[in-house]
Structure formats: structure tokens, C-alpha cells
Structure 1
């Protein structure tokens, strides 16, 4: 043994009890219930099923903060109970009215169908925890047939119960079949039989001291069974930092691994295609384009693969940056693949790139120094055209190959693939990206682009193995987009004004998008409604507990309706949606781009990449059905030709509905990064990160990318220093063990999103 070997710590010994099947310690019946309800099967997974929040016995849940469609566990007091017979079926409905004692008139109706037990137990004055999914009925939030647990709070309760009642009540992630208190019961059985001191601490002692972290064993106790409301925040901080350090260390290892890979450097070539392209550009690059372009150029010229995420607003000039990078690679003898998520978007990129190149895109690598061939490859192309494109890619004749998932096929080959550009990365999986990279002789350079703004901490956490660049300024010629809400619930007459406004835009020589949340079905001939939005059907609460059942505007119905609207008489109105044949889709977009269509009624197929400079108005129907980032993306389709753009967000929701907050946010600002942060605040982070929305095993245990921003930055710095000094973590065996345990199949996707 060498002296250096003697200094290497022995591998950390895992606490093997954490790997046991949960049934071994809590019983077969309970183990099966947990597996079915939470998808948890081991002791370690259960131990790390941390509470979402805590409440004191006097802290009743703020009912105003409940979100529709959210699985919730709430602590509330019953104020009334009414039982009535159902009109459409046999049996009774017991409506339990609960309050949060906030001083506001905040109540919630909980409906139990044939709830004989609930009718007996949930009398006025009773304190209970309720667990279920928030729905709506008659414009009000409701719970239907939730699980519930009675909580004793009278003076005659047993001493043990009173002592327990003085402690904070943990509220765990819940599912429909496994409410919070069932998780608490399992944890209460589990903790006494575990020796928590045997779990190795993954946080180096010096860092734990600097962060003033609670001891690990104590933290497990206080996170699950807090002794006071002051104790659990310290336990939460310990596990947040521990999780951030494990995640950031794994990402730092991936960055180091990428740095050590061999790649073909594609250094700048003087007097080549790139110089010719820059010389003919009709406008000056922005300072941001110059800076990021120079950075990418130097990374492409290096001997290890570039891994960079480029994000910027719609129209900020990302395509020009990508094209300049592709031309640098072509000048150096390589090829570039441009991967787009849809055929419509691929065709749009072909159009915009060939327009930017002009005569420089009219040749081939074999045909001249100052020309290259740009080829399109999609799944629906005719066999002859596809064969020609495949040959151009394999021979090297095509310098740029633009395509959809068809690029990933086994029969697609490249002569020398040097750069991959991925547009709208979130639409592609890990396997798809890797299958394209495998077509290169050496690891290719990778440029990922997105117009969906990503908050900095999300990028740091989810795309942590990529270097991130942001384009924050818009090129000259981009006009501002004004966004207004059209609330038809308050102003039904505004619907006709929307179509009059559409006519005015057309009469001014411009074009209009009308966006719908679904394709829909054509209404039968002669049954055209007097209004675009049909009357809502009154239904029993039981039918709505699974989510929103309001009718949605569909493309096929809307286009037929618009052809009957007097304000649009004689105007050219066409449809675009995903069910159309690929040739029809491309033909429709081309006709719209040529100005041969006045109103294009579409689904979100036009969300990204579609570039029609004469389109100045977008009407989004049932806008409350879309997320903030999607609304922001959609409205970026107008105002692209120097003309002012307008977006109308049409909604039938009443003022004060939670979903109206999203519309208010979009109407209030055009800054995508501000909206991305607000989106993160309004939604569960699982939605943003791609994790599960509730219950079960999710991507992040305790970490909040919004709340824990400073902590994540410190952990990232620590992780970078640890990996730089100890790449294989030989001197940090407990941290290595934590990473191995943490990177389950579900959350390893965080490390592969780039």
C-alpha cells in the first residue's frame, strides 16, 4: 500500500436497514398500501418522504389559498352540516361547511355522497383534517368525498393526546388513496426501530459547520416529529442543503466529464462562409449577440465538446447565433444538424435559414467555397425526397440538415457531424438527443436553444451540466406587444368587439391568429350557436372532482362559427392543427405567410418558430387553459415585422378565479424572465421541473428552486470545488454514497435534461 492510498478514507458504510423492503418493518398490509398509494417500497424511500408543511393546532388552513385541481390536506373546523336528497339519483348529499377562522368570510363546502359516517361525525364545532382534490361547482371551490381525520381538542382529551396536540402537525404530500395522516402513522411506526446515528453524513464537516447544519440523526427526528415550530425549519435547511450538494456535485462531475471528452475543434477559418455571411447581413448584431456569438465560437474551436444552453425571448436573435455557429463548423469541414420538435417548425427554420443565407445556401460543400446546401428531413417527406436528403447528409454534400425526430432514425448518417443545435430542448428526451450525438465520429458540440424563459435557479438545477447564456435585448425592428384581457363573464358583449377588432386589423392590411386549446369537432350543419361559447351544463359535484369540465373552444367549431360572424363576412379563414396531413399543414402555413389567408384558426402548433411578419393580432380563446410561459410564447408570434402587435386573452372565468391570476400576470409584463419567476411562484415546482405534481416520489425531496436560491448557489460552489480537487469523490465517500442513493431512476432525468 502506498502512502497516498493510506490517506484515502475507507468507503462509507451504508445503513443497510434503509434498503429493506418497507413491509419488513411496518407489516405486509401497510407495505402494500404504501406501495400502491405512494409508489414507495423501501425503508429509505419512506424515511425521505418529508412533510410538505406544518401546522399548529390553532393554525387552520387558509381556505383562500387553495388551488383548483390541487391535492390538498387541510386543517379546518366544521361550522354547519346540511343533508339533502339528490335530484338525479337515489341517496343523499351531506354538505359540510368548514371555516379557517381567519376573520374573513372564508368557508368551503365539502360534499359527501351517501356519507352516513360523515353525517354522524362531522358536527358543528368539530376539528378535522381533510384530504382530497379541490374542484369547482357553481363557481365555488369544493371538496367531494375527501378522506378525513378527527382531531381531539377538548379539555377532556387524554394527557398523551394533549401533549401530542401541542406539537406541530406535519402535513405530508398526499394522493387520493393515501392521505397525509396515513404517512404520519407509518413514519411513527418506523422511526423507533431505526438507528438514525448509523446513517453516514454526506456533508463534509467543515461545510456543515459553516452552514450551521443540524446533526443528521436529530434532523430526521425533527423533520418528521418536530418538538416545536422553531425546530423543523432547521431540520428542513439541513436536508435542503444536503440535497442541493448531492445534486450539484453530480452535475459538477458531468461537467468535468464533458470537459475531459475529446472533440474535434472547429476553429474560425478566415475568408470562409461565415465571413461572407457576416458581410451580407442587412443589420448589425446586438451587443448580446456579439458577446454570446464570440463565446460560442471559442468553445466550438476547442478540443472538448461545447455544452451550452442559449435562452432568450421570442425574436431575440437566437437563430442568427446558431446559424453563425453552424457556418463556423462548415468552414472547418464539418456538418451541423438542427433538430426541431415539429414539422411545421422544421419547415419554418428551413425557410428562415435559407432566406438568411441567400446565395450562400444555394450550393454544396463540394460545389464551391462560398456556398453550402441546406437540407430538410422529416418523416412525412415523399420517399424520393427523403432518399435524396439522406444521401446529402451521408455524403457531406449538405452542410446543414434541418429535421424533426426523423433525424434520429438509424438510417440517417453524417459524413462528419460537428455541431447539434436543438430547438425547444424541453420537447426532446434524453435518448433522442443521445441517439443523434452517436452519429458523430467524436462527441459533437451541442447548442440547446429555448424561447421559454427559465429562471436562473431552475437552469442551475435542471440544466446544471450546461453552461447558460441569456439574450436579454431584442433586435431592432421588433415592435412591442400589447396584451389585454377580454373577460366575457363580466362583459359578454365584448365577444362581438373581439371580432370587430379582428376585422379592423384585416382592413389595415394585416393578418390575425385565433388560437384554441383543442382541435374539437365540427358542429352539425344548421346548428351554429349564437355564441362561440356554448351554455355550460349544470352537473353534480361528483362529476367534477377529477378536474375542470368546462367546455373548451375547438378549432373546427370555431372556424365554422367565425364564417357566420357578420364582422368577418367575406374574409379568408382557414385552420391549422396537428391532425392535418403534413403537406396540408405546410401548405396552409405557406399560404398564410404569403398573405393569402386573413385569419388562421389554430391550436398551439404555431407556438414556436412560426414567423409571419404581417400578423399583428392574436386572439387566444379560453386563454385561462394555457400556462404563463405558453401564453408568452404564443403572443410572440405577432409584431415581428415592425408593426405593433396586440394579443387578446379571451376568458369566461369570473374575476377572482385563481386561473385569472395567470392572465393578469401575462397582461402586466412582456418580460419573459419576470413571468417565468411568477409562473414558478404560482405553480408547483414539479410542473416546472417535470416532476410529479403531488405525492409519491418526486424529483426534488425538499429543495425549492425559488425559495432556496442562495443555498443552491453556495452548494454549487462547494460542489465545484469538491469535484475539482476530488473528481471521483475518493475523499468524500459519504457524499458519493448519497449521490448513488439520491439518483434514482425518477430524478436522474434532472442530470440528463441538457
Structure 2
């Protein structure tokens, strides 16, 4: 570790400043504060547009004082000083109130340019600030005597701050640090050849200019340097992991000429799409190698990923190994179990049509709620090798689950599983198993490069024949309350036509906060401001009670389905719906993936604004699966123009999953790309933005691959290796392999 970067902050800026930074920012080292970069820069001459201030957020703004008045409070002792400020752009004024404050009354007179820092609040319909911190720009001791022209061009760095410490207080400590730190002792993670090619600033100068620029060109050059450095460190970590994985020794699972896979292909009643054939060929080649396959397979709902995965599993079984399929829910695991046995037909030992002797494979199901006898048998079949394919939920990760020869792990819906869970399954193999990760949530190329860079990626982008288009409509009840009744008469029409209906709710019951998918964010709390009283969200139990009394649905067989039900009841409910006995299913998002009922043509999603874009896209993929056109109604009580309705408009505007994933990332923000929080919030990425900087990420990826190819252990790039350790730390680096 570099001594200077790891040095305690107190040694360079003093105890008082160090304590303030640690208390409010959690930063304790020289390196931590040097890398606490400004989030933006504002010029002293530029006033902040008041009309663009975000409600309920900490802001730093420059404004001109219009008036200053002080009045006595009526209910208690003391005074209030009201300062009215403007931005000179005509976008509005802002009232700033100070309670019992002498200095603002004296200092903030009309005409002054002032930098304020505080939280934007709302009072009697108008935005304002209460008791903010402020700095007089014409009395800044740092700029006394500075040439006026130079001063006008001098940017003010604005730092990520908190209510307890202002941006300029952080800047003052950073300036003290720059004056005392040994910047020349800092190593450069970038290889000299790359720095020369890109004409990057040296490390010491880059730190000085990103924190104390004299003009916009200064901070832009410094930011470009650190942004590329961040991309290279991240991509080098991924490239190093890929090199480590490829250096592991796996058991090659080569195809056999007349085995299960060949028999399966002969009996397929349809022709594989070109994409399925191409991906299948790639998987066959990678399974045949002596190092582990690590591949991400992404494709839209219904693109045929399961068939591709099953063919890979059969190749492994042919070669004497076992395959495990990890599913996120018991409903989905049971669906996979039934679907795979049905697809195998006579090739499934003890299958639906009887086995074919030795040329058949036993498929076993293992879930936490199975009866004891069935569970013991499944455990025995996995441990003895009798079961060639084992399908299960988190129960597969239990310590008492062992495999005879685990050769392939297939992880379905990767965003539901963390790296620890995947590693727990990998550890059950005597040699590193091959890995196939599947997702129906399309991932933008830049996100795939940044988060799944250790996995090779395949995409199935064509739908098999028979998939019908899905029409999606936003049903705004705020502007059209009469549509509430029409939803159920429309459902009755669909049922009268011989079809079935899903109704999806965000909650199970009144005591539930919402049945949200891990990794799928609810809307940001700030988005919900202005909703008025807290809305009572639709719940499965309440909706079922309501629909039983709904005249338009009189006599319609309906049933609830949610994650808290007894597993046997869940299975019976799904079987009844699949058999077209239950006509209307009121469910939470447990039907989001894997549920395959070809007769379902209408989906009603209540309080749809409570779901994320990718979740809505997944849900509507449950209809239109049997060649019949599908319809999805996104029902919301929010007013038009509400931020949360933008998601619904986006989903209604296109069925292109990749386009939606880009929009999803824009609306939800990147979240913690390297951490467990998958939306909103602060990103671990400091300067990189995965949608904006695709060219930088791609170039850094290419550089990283060349560096690691020539030096897999980074022995000749000690500073880069050290930067990876400092930037990622073991927990975050492990998360890169999460899949």
C-alpha cells in the first residue's frame, strides 16, 4: 500500500479538520479525501437557476440578494430574517429564512452575490431554504487581490456534502491537504505508454487541478485523467479475474456422437432459431475445454434460453457429469422441473412417457418445502449421481447437499443471486464447474462490460415462431376515474372469449410493505413527495375480496397467489390456472418469471408505478405466449406528469427490452454498480457513468486485456495492482463475479 495515501488525515490537516471530515463524510485517510472529487463546478459569475432547484435535496447555489427584512415571531420570542434572492435569469425568486441570526441581517444586503448551502424545503407552496450556511463571494480571503478577469473564470468546486458540512468547508480542508501532502510520492496506476498516448496530466498536477482549478480547462483535463484511470482499474480487475478463471482446471465435457443430446435433437418438434444454434455451438465448444466456461446468456422473455441451457446440460450428462439449475423461487423451480421433463419426454427417466432405459436422464427437484421423504430421496439422487439434472432453489446451497460430479451450474435470473450463493454452489464440485448465467432482463452493453466483464456474453435477440405482439396501455385513474370499472368489464370480455387474466398487485396484504424483487427499486422517496396522504397500495387479499363482489366478474373462478402461501397451495393454484380452471389469477410478482400459461392474454398491473421498468417488462411477458395477442394495462392513480409515471410511459412506448434497459438506467440512476444496491442512491463509481462513457470503458477494456494478457499477475504493474486493491477492496472485487 502507498504510505502517503494510507496516512491518517489528522497527520496532514490537523485533528479538528480530520475529525469533521470523518464525522460527516466517513473519510479517514489522505487518499480518501484526495479521491473525494467535486461533483460539479460553478463559476462565480454564474447564478444558479432557481427554477431548476430539486426539492428535498442538499444544494449549493449562487444567487443575488434582492431584499432583506426582519420581523418578530408572534408565538414566541425571537426574530426571523427573510432574505429574498434571485438568479437574474427570470426563472424565479427564493425565500431564505434565518431564525434569530444577527449576521445575515447585517451581511446579506441587496445586490450581494452569495453562495448558499442547505436543504430545499417547501412552505405554503413555495420552495425555500431555512438557516442555510452561506459564503460571501466578494469577501473570500482566497481571492483578495485576484485579477477580476481571472476571477470571473475561476470555478468553484462543489463537493458531495451533507447537512453537517458544507461544500466550501470540505474545499478548505482539501486545500490544506494539497499544501501538506507529498503528492510527488503518489504512484501512477496508469502505464507510462497509456499516459503518453492520451496526453494525461501527471498524478500530482491532476490532483491539484481537479480540486483547485483556475479555469474550466484545468478541471476537465484532470477529470479526464481520473475517469480513465477509474475505467482502467475496473477493467483490469475484470480482466485479471478472467485470466484467473481461465487458468483453473476444469473437467472437459465433450459431446458424444449418439448420446442423450443427439437423441433430444432428433425428437425436437421444431427447428432451433439461428441464434439458438449459434449459442449452442459456442457452449458446446466451451464445455469441451479443460478450463471452466463462464458465460452470460441474455435474451428476451420467450427467446428460448431454457432449450439452449437444457442442451448444454445434456452434453454434460453425456460426458458423465451432473448439471444443477438454480432458480430464485419455488414456483419457478417447479415450472422448470415440469417444463424440462415435458420437453425431454421419453428421455426423462421415470418421465411422463416412460424412460428409455440407460439412454435417459433422471431430473430431480429440490426445494425447501418438499416433504421429508421426497427431500431425502432428492439428496440421495444428487449425491449418488443417479440424478443427472438437479433443479432447485436456495435449498441447493445447503451444507447437506452434495453432488457426485457437478459439471455445470446454470443460474436462472442472475439478478436474484449474490456472489456468495453462486460460490456456495461452485464449492460443491471437486473441480471448478462450468457456469452458464441466464437473464431475461436485457443489459446495456456498457453495464455488461462494467459489471459482468468476467463473463463472456451471448445474446438471443430473436423470438421463436408463435410469439404474438403485446400491446401496453397506461390507465391513468387520476384523470379518468371511470376507467376503474372498465378494467373489470374488459377482463370479463377476455374471459368470455375463452382466455385468462392476470391481476398483479404490489402487496400481499394490509400489513405488507410490498412484495418487491431484490434489486428492483421502488421509486425514490423524493419522487413520491407531493402525493399527499400515503396511498393505500393494492394488495392481493383486498383485491380478491373486491373482485368477488365485482358485478362484472360475477361467477368468474378466481384465486390468489403470493409468496407467503403454503407451497402445496401455490402449486395447486398454478396447476388450476394452467389447466384453465381458474380464469383470473390475483398475484404478486411471483409470476414475474418462468410462469408459462399460453391461454393468458390480459394482464392488469395495479399501482404499476410501484414497479421498476425491467420488472414491468418481465411481467407483461407472461401474456401473448400462445400465439394469441396480449394486452397489458398499467394502472396508476398518480397525476399525469408525476416523475413515477415516466417509467410507465417508457414501458408502454416500446417492447424492445434493450431500449427499456437504457431508459431504466437513466431514470433510476446507476446505483451502486459494484455493490448490492442496484438502483438509485450513490454509485461506487466516482467519475464514470456507464451510459455516457461507453467509449472510455471500451478503450480501457481493450487496454486492460492487453496488459493482463502480457502480465496476468500484474507483477510488472505494481501501482495498477495496488490501485485495484484500494479501489475495489475484496468485497467489491468479489461482487464483480456476481452473475
Work out whether the TM-score is over 0.5. Answer: yes
Of the candidates 507, 514, 521, which is equivalent to residue 496 of structure 2? Answer: 507
2:414 paired residue number: 425
Q: Give 3-state SS (helix, strand or coil) of 2:360's partner.
A: coil
Equivalence for 1:437: 426
Say if 2:369 is the partner of 1:380: yes
What are the Cα deviations for residues 53-99 of structure 1, in whole angstroms up to 9, with x where unaligned? 22223444456666677665555567789999999999999998876
Of 289-298 and 366-375, the range deviating more from structure 2:
366-375
Structure 1 residue 332 and structure 2 residue 319: aligned? yes
Match of 1:635 among 605, 615, 620: 620
- Which residue of 698, 710, 727 corresponds with 1:713? 698
Change (3 A) 1:97 1:563: farther
* Aligned-partner SS, 1:752: coil
Tell me, yes or no, if the aligned pair for 2:613 and 2:661 is still in contact at 8 Å: yes
Deviation at 1:719, TM superposition (A): 1.0
SS at match of 2:644: helix
Query: Closer, same or farther in 2 for the Cα pair 1:39/1:617, shift >3 Å?
Result: farther
Deviates more, 1:339-348 or 1:743-752: 743-752
Aligned to 2:37: 50
Does structure 2 retain, via aligned residues, the 8 Å contact 1:81–1:94? yes
User: CA separation in 1, counterparts of 2:83 and 2:477?
Assistant: 32
**Contact 2:298/2:439 (8 A) holds in 1:** yes
Match of 2:231 among 225, 238, 244: 244
How many angstroms apart in 2 are the aligned matches of 1:708 and 1:644?
39
Does the C-alpha gap of structure 1 residues 601 and 734 become closer, same or farther in structure 2, counting only changes over 3 Å? same
> Which of 433, 450, 458 is 2:439 aligned to?
450
Q: Is the 8 A contact 2:38 2:159 kept in 1?
A: yes
Q: Distance in 1 between matches of 2:597 and 2:136?
A: 61
Q: Distance in 2 between matches of 1:50 and 1:80?
A: 35
Query: Secondary structure of 1:744's partner?
Result: helix
Equivalent position of 1:727 in the other structure: 712
Following superposition, the deviation at residue 736 of structure 1 comes to 2.0
Structure with the bigger RCO (C-alpha within 8 Å, sep 6+) is: 1
Cα distance, 1:727 vs. partner? 1.6
Matches within 5 A, 1:401-416: 401-416=390-405
What is the alpha-carbon distance in structure 1 between the residues aligned to residue 678 and residue 532 of structure 2?
14
3-state SS in 1 of match to 2:324: strand
The 1-side partners of 2:617 and 2:690 are apart by 21
Measure the CA separation in 2 of the matches of 1:438 and 1:521. 41
The 8 Å contact of residues 668 and 680 in structure 2, kept in 1 or not, is answered as: no
2:596 to 598, 601, 611: 611
Aligned twin of 2:203: 216
- SS state at 1:658 partner: coil
1:620 maps onto 2:605 in alignment: yes
Does the CA-based 8 Å contact 2:675-2:732 persist in structure 1? Answer: no
Q: Contact (CA 8 Å) 2:54, 2:120: kept in 1 or not?
A: yes
CA distance in 1, matches of 2:679, 2:78: 32
For residues 566 and 242 of structure 1, what CA distance do their matches in structure 2 show? Answer: 64
| Deviation sequence 1:562-609 (CA, Å, 0-9, x none) | 333322222223222222222222222222222222222222222222
Secondary structure in 2 aligned to 1:388? Answer: helix
With over 3 angstroms needed to count, the CA separation of the structure-2 counterparts of 1:467 and 1:109, relative to structure 1, is: farther
**What is the DSSP-based 3-state SS (H/G/I as helix, E as strand, rest coil) of the residue aligned with 2:549?**
coil
| Gap change, CA 1:650 and 1:546, over 3 Å in 2 | closer
Choose from 455, 471, 480 the match for 1:466.
455
Normalised TM-score (structure 2): 0.88
Q: 1:275 to 1:43 in 2, by over 3 A?
A: same
Cα 1:658–1:59 change in 2 (3 A) is farther
Which of 286-295 and 628-637 deviates more?
628-637
Instruction: Give the C-alpha shift of residue 360 in structure 1.
Output: 1.4
Which segments of 5 or more consecutive residues in structure 2 lack a partner in the other structure? 513-525
Distance in structure 2 (CA, Å) of the matches to 1:516 and 1:119: 52
C-alpha distance in structure 2 between counterparts of 1:730 and 1:603, whole Å: 52
Partner of 2:172: 185
Distance 1:77 1:376, change over 3 A: farther
Kindly provide the CA deviation profile for residues 197-232 of structure 1, in whole angstroms up to 9, marking residues without a partner as x. Answer: 221111112111211212221111111122112221
Shift of 1:459: 0.7
In structure 2, the residue matched to 1:302 is 289
> CA offset at residue 697 of structure 1?
8.2
Q: CA 1:219 to 1:333, structure 2 compared with 1: closer, same or farther past 3 Å?
A: same
> Contact 1:54–1:169 (CA<8 Å) still a contact in 2?
yes
Aligned residues: 720
Partner Cα distance (1:115, 1:547) in 2: 32
1:752 matched to 2:737: yes
Distance in structure 2 (CA, Å) of the matches to 1:191 and 1:438:
47
Question: Taking structure 1 as reference, are residues 236 and 615 closer, same or farther at Cα in structure 2, changes over 3 Å only?
Answer: same
Q: 1:293 aligns with which of 266, 274, 280?
A: 280
TM-superposed CA distance for 1:274, in Å, is 0.9
Determine the C-alpha separation between the residues in 2 that align with 1:204 and 1:714: 14
- Please, which of 235, 245, 256 is the counterpart of residue 222 of structure 2? 235
Q: Secondary structure at the match of 1:254?
A: helix
CA deviation string 1:296-354 (max 9, x = no partner): 11100111100000111111111111111001101111100001111121112112212
TM-score by length of 1: 0.87
Task: Tell me the secondary structure at the aligned position of residue 634 of structure 2.
Answer: strand
Say which is worse superposed, 466-475 or 677-686, in terms of deviation. Answer: 677-686
CA distance in 1, matches of 2:341, 2:674: 35
- In the alignment, the residues of structure 2 paired with residue 41 and residue 266 of structure 1 have an alpha-carbon distance, to the nearest angstrom, of 51
- Asked if 1:272 is matched to 2:233, the reply is no
Q: Could you tell me which runs of 5 or more consecutive residues in structure 1 were left unpaired when the two chains were aligned.
A: 1-13, 524-540
